[in-house]
Amino acid sequence: MKARIHITLKNGVLDPQGRAIASALHALGFNSVGDVRQGKYIEVDLAETDKGKAKAAVEQMCNRLLANTVIENYAIELVD
């Protein structure tokens, strides 16, 4: 089973990396670009076959290591 994890900054948290990308895109002439937010995308291969257990494990991974839950949200998607 594979877990796809999106980690994004919470609304209201300043995203300097996103700002830098937006500025660079404007400089390249992409004037229709408004706000840009950058997050992380992590794919984890799991030996676990039970979907419930896999989800619980990945939530623990996010809380303990992958995401800083003070400023970041995470979303988990499981695929077979």
CB of 80 to a second copy, least distance (A): 14
Distances from the Cα of 59 to the Cαs of 16, 47, 65, 78, in angstroms?
27, 16, 10, 11
CB of 74 to a second copy, least distance (A): 11
Query: Does the footprint of a second copy cover residue 57 (CB under 8 A)?
Result: yes
Alpha carbons within 13 A on the beta-carbon side of 23: 6
Among 11, 16, 35, 79, binds a second copy (CB under 8 A): 35
Query: Does the footprint of a second copy cover residue 78 (CB under 8 A)?
Result: no
Contacts of 60 (CB under 8 A, 6+ apart): none
Footprint of a second copy (CB under 8 A)? 6-8, 18, 21, 24-25, 28, 30-48, 54, 57, 60-61, 64-66
